Structure 1
Amino acid sequence: MKRVVRHLHRLATGLALAAGVGLAGAQSAAPAATPAPASYNVGATATGVPFTFLDVKTNSIQGMMVDTVTAVGKAGGFGVNVQQTVFSALIPSLTARKVDIISAAMLKTPARQEVVDFSDPVYSYGEGLIVKDSDTRPYVSLDELKGEVVGAQVGTVFLDMLNKKGIFKEVRSYDSVADMTRDLSLGRIKAGLGDQPVIAYQLRQAAFNGVKLVQSYKSVNVGDVCLVVRKGDTQTLERLNKAIAKVKADGTLAAIVGKWGI
């Protein structure tokens, strides 16, 4: 009887040890958390003054959103490497992992949210209506341009707006606002839509000739400008949001917006 008890005791002890080894093995096999990157590649455009633009003197991308992502990186303890990308290629570059973050005048929309994730807002604005400087009509809505030829930049929500209206003779797309305003000044289109603060800034800088913003026009597509990351990249998104909260709280973001006059 004693031999049976000793045998059962040894068996129980062996099972307990085996279970302990199995648990330790499982624990050691658990994947370690991926460390946060020390720096990120950031996509920005060369044609979105004052948000992002190419400074020909330094051959680098500058602007409000460049300053913003740089300040966010400093507040979050990571570096940023800003790279020039055309606007229509920003999201494809992000999803293809050529860049990790988009920092540009890109409005948050439901359609874009299906493909990418947006940070907390850093700025908000709507569309501006541009016409020839000789056009004195006080436009209030796009309905007043029914039957006309109009235009907007490729990849923007404003081009989608015009196409969805379905009331125009033709909707033309342009690679840049500069191309659109050139056609507008030549009378090839009746009006164009673009980022209101971008156009206003460039008009103040005398970058466009023969066109003007319609002051009476009421924006209908007001949205938030955010930093953009790949869908499901919660690690980067959380780092960005924490850093955005810091630069908002300490006044850094407000100073950047003021610097660029928007």
Structure 2
Amino acid sequence: MKLKTIAAVITTLAIGFTAPVFAADTVTVGVTTTGVPFTFIDTATSKPTGAMVELAEAIAAETGMTAEFEVVAFSALIPSLTTGKIDMISAGMFATDKRREVVDFSTPVYSYGEGMFVAADDATDYTLDDLNGATVGAQVGTTFADTLKARGTFGEIKLYDSIADIMRDVKLGRIKAGFGDKPIIAYQISQNPKMGVRLVEGYQPMKPGDVALAVSKENTALLDAVNAAIAKLKDSGALAKIFAKYGL
């Protein structure tokens, strides 16, 4: 992204989004296909869609840019950002202190915690203590996986590339329970009640977090532009409408 263009973006934001005074530029946004309803592929168009995709498009529009989306595995999003393959991450990613060591996050746009899910025919509403010694699953690269490991109470914690893979093994009885982003799990189950898993009622998240967009530490101008756009979208109610559209 051209620094001259970003400077013009910030100037425009500062004077109240009056009119573009610069030529539109492109921002490459990293998304993942495993984050329904935050980010996923629309089967009808074969293009990325979801709440965080629409948010990135809205932010780009506010700043006079065009968003181009790059599909990346969740665990590869930050490496892709730090190596310059993408300009920004817009996914269901928590802004954690560990991640802040290598990237910068925008102001939060959504908050939630993880959910626990078990086989649909398992009626027990487990607590974490009930699963001592059990084999459970989590998605690689997530904060949930790190927090589960830190407990040191499970027999084994299997790491998976996607929530769909975890759901499959829970359904087949290969692992006792799975953990993942609660909104993503709830949305997938609502869309396909025959998935063979259910959310555990009453489960208390270990560590709720804030979802935010991420940029490289060298791109402070883009971060300022993104934060200004988010503030405007919040004030207008547009941000809330985007998330409500996807049941969030």
Taking structure 2 as the reference length, what is the TM-score of the superposition?
0.89
Matched, 1:237 2:194: no
Match of 1:178 in 2: 164
How far did 1:192 drift? 0.7
The question of whether the paired residues in 2 share the 8 Å contact of 1:150 and 1:189 is answered with yes
CA distance in 2, matches of 1:232, 1:218: 37
Matched, 1:225 2:194: no
Match of 1:34 in 2: 3
CA distance in 1, matches of 2:143, 2:208: 10
**Unaligned stretches of 5+ in structure 1?**
1-32
Deviation sequence 1:171-216 (CA, Å, 0-9, x none): 1011110110000000000001000000000000017621100111
Which amino acid in the other structure matches residue 85 of structure 2?
A: K
Match of 1:10 in 2: none
How far did 1:59 drift? 1.3
CA distance in 2, matches of 1:259, 1:83: 23
How far did 1:232 drift? 3.5
CA distance in 2, matches of 1:102, 1:81: 11
Match of 1:253 in 2: 239
The question of whether the paired residues in 2 share the 8 Å contact of 1:65 and 1:103 is answered with yes
CA distance in 1, matches of 2:99, 2:130: 29
Match of 2:152 in 1: 166
CA distance in 1, matches of 2:206, 2:65: 37
CA distance in 1, matches of 2:201, 2:124: 11
Match of 2:107 in 1: 120
Identity rate, percent: 50
Number of positions where the alignment pairs a residue of Structure 1 with one of Structure 2: 229
Classify the secondary structure of the residue corresponding to 1:164. helix
> Structure 2 residue aligned with 1:65, among 21, 38, 52?
52
The question of whether the paired residues in 1 share the 8 Å contact of 2:3 and 2:221 is answered with no
How far did 1:39 drift? 1.7
Classify the secondary structure of the residue corresponding to 1:256. helix
How far did 1:144 drift? 1.8
Q: List structure 1 runs of 4+ shifted beyond 3 angstroms.
A: none
Deviation sequence 1:119-177 (CA, Å, 0-9, x none): 001111100001111222222x3122100000101111111111111111111011110
CA RMSD of aligned residues (A): 1.3
CA separation of 1:198/1:147 partners in 2, compared to 1, >3 Å: closer, same or farther?
Answer: same
The question of whether the paired residues in 2 share the 8 Å contact of 1:145 and 1:168 is answered with yes
How far did 1:96 drift? 0.7
Q: Which moved more, 1:92-101 or 1:55-64?
A: 55-64
CA distance in 2, matches of 1:162, 1:204: 26
The question of whether the paired residues in 2 share the 8 Å contact of 1:202 and 1:208 is answered with no
Computing the radius of gyration from Cα coordinates, the structure with the larger value is 1
How far did 1:71 drift? 0.7
Taking structure 1 as the reference length, what is the TM-score of the superposition?
0.85
Which amino acid in the other structure matches residue 151 of structure 2?
A: K
CA distance in 2, matches of 1:255, 1:238: 23
The question of whether the paired residues in 1 share the 8 Å contact of 2:39 and 2:51 is answered with yes
Matched, 1:210 2:179: no
The question of whether the paired residues in 2 share the 8 Å contact of 1:181 and 1:208 is answered with no
Classify the secondary structure of the residue corresponding to 1:48. coil
How far did 1:104 drift? 0.3
**Unaligned stretches of 5+ in structure 2?**
7-24
Match of 1:146 in 2: 132
CA distance in 2, matches of 1:79, 1:208: 39
The question of whether the paired residues in 2 share the 8 Å contact of 1:151 and 1:173 is answered with yes
How far did 1:56 drift? 2.3
CA distance in 2, matches of 1:208, 1:88: 28
Match of 1:54 in 2: 41
